[in-house]
Homo-oligomer: A and B are copies of this chain.
């Protein structure tokens, strides 16, 4: 079993109730499971709740930091229609809710209409000059860098203690061990890179909400990613994230609002 599947596996304990084990293999910089990993677990549970195959819109609100260990997921249908279905999931530990997710599903086989793009696709795979910035001395990123192959063409300044002063970046990611880029994986990847505000001197960033729009089913191979923060205002910043697959299609787009420390 792929580690991402092993670590998002759910055991049903009742109608709309599951238990799971949050592992230490998908940790955030400040320690503890990444928000996007907790979200992936919830997407798994939601997929079991609705008849439509494709998550389209996923709105996650984070209340508490998850911890490694057992957790419960409860789900409920909100509406099942012919074209869309909407359901909710809550992730709990010790009977306290960590994360609430409302998601709408559809069937991407039924997409129709023109595609109009006003945003240039990034290069679909890393150029020769790209490198693994966390290959040696991974420090606090050891858990996740063991699992994700991350490539960039520019040095990661904050990682060597010299924030680069930039608010946007492009890079590539993929699981080290290949696995389909389904909605759970894409939502995870939207939150899997270190926040770009670290390049502005922040020392941490805590996700308050994360909205993910899945735009197409993703091909295998590299995921070309772009991240951008345009506004840091009084402790809060948004972070926009785009993921393009190896065929050059935009497959996920997310925005999060996060609380930062250190600026």
Contacts and interface: CB of A to CB of B under 8 A. Distances in A.
A234 B108 contact: yes
A234 B123 CA distance: 22
A168 B118 CA distance: 10
Contacts of A257: 56-57, 213
B57 A78 contact: no
Given A116-B200, A250-B231, A78 B63 contact: yes
A232 B111 CA distance: 11
Range of interface residues on A (Cβ < 8 Å): 35 or more
Contacts of A250: 231, 233
A38 interface: no
Contacts of A209: 57, 59, 104, 211
Contacts of A211: 59, 209, 211, 255
Interface in A1-43: none
A98 to B, nearest CB: 9
**Residue of A59, A100, A103 with most chain B CB atoms under a 10 A cut-off:** A59
Contacts of A232: 113-117
A72 interface: no
Of A84, A111, A236, A238, most B-chain CB atoms within 10 Å: A236
Q: Which of A84, A103, A234, A263 has the most CB of B within 10 A?
A: A234
A98 B173 CA distance: 38
Q: Ordered nearest first, which 9 A-B pairs have the shortest CB separation?
A: A111-B234, A59-B59, A116-B232, A119-B230, A113-B235, A63-B79, A211-B211, A57-B209, A118-B167
Interface of A: 56-57, 59, 61, 63-64, 78-79, 81, 84, 86, 88, 97, 100, 102-104, 108, 111-119, 167-168, 200, 208-209, 211, 213, 215-216, 228-236, 238, 250, 253, 255, 257, 260, 263
